[in-house]
Amino acid sequence: MTAWAAVFVAQFGGRAPFHDDFFDLSLRLSRTPPTWAELWVPLNEHRLVLPRLVEWSVAQATGTGLRNQMAVNLALVSASAFAFIVAARGLRGSTAWADALFPLVLLSVGHYESLLWAVQINFYLPLLVQTLAMVGLAGAGERPSACRVGGIAVAAAALVLCGMQGVVTGLALAVWLTYVGYRELRKSGFTRAAGVAFAGAVVTFGMVAVILASYTPVTSTVPPRFGAATLRHFAHTLAIAWGPVAEDCRWAVPVRWPSPLGVATGVVVLLTVVRLLPALRDDRDRPAAVGLLGIGASLVAVAAALAYSRLGPLGGLVSNRYVTLMAPLVCWCYLTWVRFGAGRPVGELVTGGLFLTAVAVAWPNAVAGYAVARPQHLTHANIERDIYRGMPASFLAESYTWFLSPNNPPAVIPGLELLRENGVTPFQRIQPEPQITDVPSTWRTDGFPPGTNGWYETTGDVPYLFLTVRKTSPELITGVRITYSIEGTASRVSGAVSYRYRGPDGQTGNVTLPVFFDAGRGLEKRLWFGDGVDQFTILVNGPVRFSVDRVTGFEAKEAPRP
């Protein structure tokens, strides 16, 4: 599974920053160690001190390319799966075929967004720390050693510095440290293990207090509400632990019924909790049972927080990345049953059922991963092609902000220029902003369906229209400014612009760019073609009335140096 995921990342990982990558771009490219202020600055509601420190260290060690970080992220999740397998073997005494559940769940290319997104170190680093803590708790005996307790203490403190999801698990571990310290104090006095446990708990609780004191909630245009929709969404949140096969819950898809897979996952979680109850009464097993119960509670709490805070107007999770956040819940169930149910019929039934479910969803998850990765990779290729064709940063931003950073458009141009200034491939080839000069030229517009008085309308069975714009004069141009009008809609509509270009080396190629047209009259959109383009096609998705009011060619020349 690691090899498959590595090929997936190598094939589809893009070199352009994507969404939240822009947030830490300056830190990644810095040649000096980050200051505490740079590490402490929040991303949304998250304090990501350790992921940022690792991200900067990776950039110094392997280069500033984002694909290097993707490789490290893959190594982290692969280490997590390996640690789970080793732990299961140690608890059971041998490796079972069903232990393949761990790589099937954690390394599936169904985690396409996390695997192909460098900033997901924010998920993968706490995942590894959480895994090591879970493994350490599962192997705890009646008297956990000071070394084991110290490892859990370090994990608790590290998780708190890995975002709010880490804070939740860190709190659970701090509670366990307090319990172990008190238990050791009652049994043997103030031993080394008790001292380590109490110290770890105090440090973790203190760090959590500092983070919560500085917490700034992220405002939402749709305030979350608790109700039946939240409960249905909670079931869907549990379901995505199995991958995108359960992603029938998005912002645009109403959630009317609980996900059957989510309900089944919830039942398994409850059965796991029930199995832990007898272990809580056994003094020999109680430390491990208390710890695993705390980890499970923290994972369910994260699922509940997602269900509540990410509930849109119709219900649904925003992104595939939450698959990576919820997958450890399945691993927790399996490892708990290996620890407390190995060799028993019910334990074998549960672990076997979890494994068979992981096998059943593996192929649909992979199909979903490739279905998203291919067009995403094509867009990355288009960006690089346009860089090599001489497109400056402002035009790249106008053409690709919808893909690179739709939630923070102002970050795109400074980010691209920062990559150029630091010589990051291929962005070092981005051309400086040129001097734009209008070129008098004449154009003719033909549309399908045919227009009337310059207006083209999509109606009936034809919910889209094509407009072919041809230059009828011989001037050479670099691109055009289109002045257009749209009626019949209150918001922007999607579309595309396609053309055939001829490069300086004589090669030709077809280009299709997704675009969005805002509703209104007399609006303008710039298109960079390069040399040799005298015709382009506009696709508008309707139903709307669309008019090309004016097409103005322009020539881009190197701006005079100050």
Coil, helix or strand at residue 119: helix
The CA distance from 452 to 387, in Å, is: 39
pLDDT tier for residue 531 given thresholds of 50, 70 and 90? low
Which of 31-35, 332-336, 456-460 has the weakest average pLDDT?
456-460
The CA distance from 25 to 43, in Å, is: 13
- 3-state secondary structure string across 225-253: CCCHHHHHHHHHHHHHHHCHHHCCCCCCC
Residue 205 pLDDT > 70: yes
- HSE of 482 in the Cβ direction (CA atoms, 13 Å)? 27
What are residue 107's phi and psi, to 5 degrees?
A: -110, 10
Residue 448 pLDDT > 90: no
Q: What is the C-alpha radius of gyration for the chain, rounded to an integer number of angstroms? A: 28
- Mean pLDDT comparison of 266-280, 423-437, 528-542, highest-scoring range: 266-280
Residues 332 and 340: beta-carbon distance below 8 Å: no
Please tell me the predicted confidence (pLDDT) of residue 313. 47
Angle at CA 47, nearest 5°, toward 181 and 322?
95
Residue 102 pLDDT > 90: yes
What the block records as the tokens of 35 is 């200051």
Residues 24 and 57: beta-carbon distance below 8 Å: no
Please tell me the predicted confidence (pLDDT) of residue 57. 94
The CA distance from 216 to 411, in Å, is: 22
pLDDT digits (tens, 9 = 90+) for 126-185: 999 999 999 999 998 888 999 999 999 999 999 999 999 999 999 999 999 999 999 888
Please tell me the predicted confidence (pLDDT) of residue 352. 92
User: Letter for the amino acid at 192?
Assistant: R
Please tell me the predicted confidence (pLDDT) of residue 505. 61
Which of 81-95, 296-310, 484-498 has the weakest average pLDDT?
484-498
What are residue 363's phi and psi, to 5 degrees?
A: -70, -50
pLDDT digits (tens, 9 = 90+) for 470-479: 888 877 788 8
- Tell me the average pLDDT across 327-351: 90
Residues in the chain: 562
Q: Cα–Cα distances in Å, from 340 out to 144, 280, 358, 458?
A: 17, 11, 21, 64
Question: β-strands 455-457, 493-502: how paired?
Answer: unpaired
- Tell me the average pLDDT across 40-52: 90
Which of 290-294, 306-310, 510-514, 556-560 has the weakest average pLDDT?
556-560
Task: Report percent pLDDT > 90 for the chain.
Answer: 48
Residue 459 pLDDT > 70: no
Cα 107 to its chain centre, rounded Å, is: 15
Residue 52 pLDDT > 90: yes
Residues β-bridged to residue 457: 545
Residue 312 pLDDT > 60: no
Residues 488 and 546: beta-carbon distance below 8 Å: no
Residue 211 pLDDT > 80: yes
Alpha helices in 100-243 (DSSP H): 101-106, 112-115, 121-138, 146-160, 164-188, 192-213, 228-239
Alpha helices in 407-456 (DSSP H): 412-421
Angle at CA 445, nearest 5°, toward 440 and 447?
165
Residue 315 pLDDT > 50: no
pTM of the model: 0.88
pLDDT tier for residue 317 given thresholds of 50, 70 and 90? low
- Tell me the average pLDDT across 514-518: 83
Residue 495 pLDDT > 80: yes
Looking at 2.60.120, 3.60.21, 3.40.50, 2.20.25, the CATH number of the domain 435-557 comes to 2.60.120
Residue 77 pLDDT > 90: yes
pLDDT digits (tens, 9 = 90+) for 217-255: 766 545 556 667 777 778 888 888 998 887 654 433 444
Please tell me the predicted confidence (pLDDT) of residue 14. 92
